[in-house]
Structure 1
Amino acid sequence: MNEKSVSAPDPLQVSVAQMHCVPGDVDANLEIIAKLVALAAQEGAKLIILPEMATTGYFINDRLDELAEEEDGPTSSRLGKIAKRYRAYLVVGAPIRADGAFYDAQLLFSPEGERIATYRKTHLFSAEREWFSAGDAPMVVETPIGRIGMSVCYDLIFPEYVRRLTDMGADLVINSTNWITDEFQRQRWGWDAPTVTALAKTRALENGVWLAMSCCVGPEAQFDSIGHSCIVAPSGQVVASLGRSVGTATHKAVFHEKDLDKWRAIATYRADRRPELY
């Protein structure tokens, strides 16, 4: 078990971008992504995170054969050019095809425009199991801006999984998501913004790690994308949030500083675990 994080450059300007996808229209979504990346770059962001399935929209299961591409396909090439233009690390959710299967993936591009990682969503929710194959490995990517723990949507529900990313040395856990709700889930069970925000806060708090969650917003099919993309400090404090707005939220993630060291000296949650009892 690795309890140490890589010594990341300090500070890191991180941005989460929130968008309303156009289902099945890759060109339109790439235009939206480019505008959001430009906005985040104006705010000084060096790491910019987009939602799950941002290039196609979420409800495209009947069009996967048409819309899913190889990880270095035409859409990936265009995303790399956006990353290069704005000299930022760029993370975008997209459906990919590989080995005769479809995957709900998260692509990471360098400021040079190269795809440096492809993470395949490990935990599939409900009907996703009929559409996609599941990834089979957690992923932490070491970069000059620090170690990035990758996750997509439903992965965040599983505390053991995010703990694994932290134990692998992640300085920052990122989540590209599209939390959706409807009247039944919202009115009867309270599955809405306060719950998903609390989820992000809890994962950051219990692991003592920065967390950035980027979500879609607005109607799609018979559901509503919740939004409330956010950046959360290792204490569980939400330091930037978008609510229901389309746009970007940016914050300076500080990995080494006096107040953070003081907090971690109090919040010794990982060290205080007693796994022999669980």
Structure 2
Amino acid sequence: MEEKKRFNIALVQMNCEKAAIDRNLRSMRASIAAGRAGGADIVCFPEMNITGYIDPFNQPHAVLSLDHQAVGEVVRMSALYSVCVIAGFVEYNPGGKPYINQFVAHNGRLLGCYRKKTIKDEEVYWFAPGDRQPIFSVAGLTFGLSVCADIDDPDIFREYARKGAAIVFESAAPGLYGEQETRNWASGYNWWRSNCIAKLGAYAAEQSIYIGVATQAGRTMDEDFPGGGYLFDPRGECVKESGDWGEGILYAEISV
């Protein structure tokens, strides 16, 4: 029997201020450095962590192209720290509304990107859906990407498993409803946690894959995010979780 390979992953709970690209890049660098020091082969960030969860019509200056210098800076970080980085931003679309883009950089190379497929509710006014599900391979680990509301579509995870993905990285930024002044952080965190356990746990078990979750955390200028880092194993069990809604890094090991 072939010996299984082990991979170390870092799932980042990050506070991502809206349109504060330089600030968010500095935070990323610190997390990548910490992740690499902690032995991570892959450092995964939340949805739209570079640009923050912007309204692209009110903050068009923070809508970036794939060849923008901010994306290039993340690619350079992947070279500097010899690591794979998964990160996200709002992407300019010359044919219409912007995409929600999650990309992969490894050792100084941009390997490609996934554009969020599940666009619904208020997002339909701001963003266009993607239509492809590429898979990526880094050092022998094959994986796919999903973004936030993709959690509601089991076919996305089924398709990744069909293509041979051993793990899907779910990057999320589920904004919390209600007034910021009266925010109940525990209820918001528990709401997102229960969604992840119920849905992603089921998909992981059904498809015999790992699923890792990285979520935006904390307060931004006009919206709050629940945080939450989770790893589901191929039996559907949540074998690692962050435990609270603050910023931080969840480290985990997978064997494939």
TM-score normalised according to structure 2 size: 0.88
| CA displacement at 1:223 relative to structure 2 | 4.0
Unaligned runs of 5+ in 2: none
| Residue of 114, 133, 138 corresponding to 1:143 | 138
1:83-232 superposed matches below 5 A = 83-101=78-96, 102-111=98-107, 113-183=108-178, 191-220=191-220, 223-232=223-232
CA distance in 2, matches of 1:8, 1:245: 37
Counterpart position of 2:248 = 247
Counterpart position of 2:61 = 66
Counterpart position of 2:238 = 238
CA distance in 2, matches of 1:96, 1:9: 37
| CA displacement at 1:229 relative to structure 2 | 1.5
| CA displacement at 1:221 relative to structure 2 | 5.4
CA distance in 2, matches of 1:8, 1:198: 31
CA displacement 1:208-246 (0-9 Å, x = unmatched)? 101111100112355431111112211122222222121
CA distance in 2, matches of 1:197, 1:59: 27
Of structures 1 and 2, the larger Rg is shown by: 1
| Residue of 42, 48, 55 corresponding to 2:43 | 48
Unaligned runs of 5+ in 1: 1-6, 256-278
Match of 2:159, SS state, is: helix
| CA displacement at 1:135 relative to structure 2 | 0.5
CA displacement 1:53-85 (0-9 Å, x = unmatched)? 001111333345311121121011100111111
CA distance in 2, matches of 1:125, 1:60: 15
| CA spacing shift, 1:63–1:244, aligned 2, 3 Å | same
Match of 1:162, SS state, is: helix
Counterpart position of 1:271 = none
| CA spacing shift, 1:51–1:15, aligned 2, 3 Å | same
| Residue of 3, 20, 29 corresponding to 1:25 | 20
CA distance in 1, matches of 2:220, 2:3: 38
Match of 1:156, SS state, is: helix
* Count of matched residue positions in the alignment of Structure 1 and Structure 2: 247
| CA displacement at 1:97 relative to structure 2 | 1.3
Query: RMSD value over aligned CA atoms?
Result: 2.3
Check conservation: 2:218, 2:247, Cα contact below 8 A: no
| CA displacement at 1:201 relative to structure 2 | 1.9
CA distance in 1, matches of 2:195, 2:170: 15
| CA spacing shift, 1:234–1:222, aligned 2, 3 Å | same
Check conservation: 1:181, 1:191, Cα contact below 8 A: no
